[in-house]
Structure 1
Amino acid sequence: MTTVAMLSVAPVIEDSMAEEVAKAVDALEDFDVSYETNPMGTVIEAETADEVFAAAQAAHEAVDGDRVSTFLKIDDKRTASSSAADKVDAVEDELGREARSGE
């Protein structure tokens, strides 16, 4: 996989967004992408940026509301294949430890 993206889709509402965010995440199941949801968004991995765009559009359209805010940041590494996990591993190698707090 060479394209890694950070996707955040949310309705602009006062109450909990969990139900609508779940719809966006569920929409990703229809695409050939891998993903992991975290508290600030969802990391998506795919072979091409086109696959990421299609999945992100479906996630955006899955959310109901008068106003929906979507943020998509793409890292399309074209000269080498590097997964999201590889990127974290490289940072952890530099740190000499896990890239998280001691919780």
Structure 2
Amino acid sequence: MTVVALLSVAPVIEGSMSGEVAKAVAELDGFDVSYETNPMGTVIEADDVDTLLAAVGAAHKAVDGDRVSTFLKIDDKRGSDASAREKVDAVEAHLGREAKRER
């Protein structure tokens, strides 16, 4: 089974959050997960939901601040081992092109 999630962790502060976000992303390295960060969050893949939740908890705790906002969306398709890349590949097959466009 592969669990795929979208994670966004940020302190509630004025100005740049990139340093604190980097702390959260770096924390994921301590877990058996793969991830890719994009401008809106980090897509994480794990073999099971317990591993995923442990990694997310550590990422959340790594961010300093009086208030930390965390958004987590989990796709736990229990009858499938499809990776995040395979999900994108399926969409691209329907499009007949890459699911990306530069302006």
Q: Which TM-score band (shorter chain)?
A: over 0.9
**Secondary structure of the corresponding residue to residue 42 of structure 1:** strand
**Secondary structure of the corresponding residue to residue 77 of structure 1:** coil
TM-score relative to the length of structure 1? 0.97
Q: CA deviation at 1:36?
A: 0.4
Note if 1:54 corresponds to 2:54: yes
Find the aligned partners of 1:77 and 1:95 in 2 and give their Cα distance.
23
Q: Which residue of 2 aligns with 1:82?
A: 82
Q: CA deviation at 1:2?
A: 1.1
The 5 Å alignment of 1:1-103 reads 2-103=2-103
In structure 2, list runs of 5 or more residues that go unmatched: none
Find the aligned partners of 1:39 and 1:8 in 2 and give their Cα distance.
10
Q: Which contiguous aligned blocks of 4+ residues in structure 1 show a shift greater than 3 angstroms?
A: none
Q: CA deviation at 1:102?
A: 4.2
- Identical positions, percent: 71
Deviation digits for residues 23-60 of structure 1 (CA, Å, limit 9, x no counterpart): 00000010000000000000000000111110000000
Find the aligned partners of 1:45 and 1:29 in 2 and give their Cα distance.
12
Find the aligned partners of 1:51 and 1:69 in 2 and give their Cα distance.
21
Find the aligned partners of 2:67 and 2:21 in 1 and give their Cα distance.
13
Q: In the comparison of the two structures, how many residue pairs are matched?
A: 103
Find the aligned partners of 1:58 and 1:100 in 2 and give their Cα distance.
31
Find the aligned partners of 1:75 and 1:52 in 2 and give their Cα distance.
11
TM-score relative to the length of structure 2? 0.97
Find the aligned partners of 1:66 and 1:26 in 2 and give their Cα distance.
20
Q: CA deviation at 1:8?
A: 0.3
Q: CA deviation at 1:97?
A: 0.4
Specify whether residues 13 and 77 from structure 1 end up closer, same or farther in structure 2 by C-alpha distance, changes over 3 A only: same
Q: What root-mean-square deviation, in Å, do the aligned CA atoms of Structure 1 and Structure 2 show?
A: 0.9
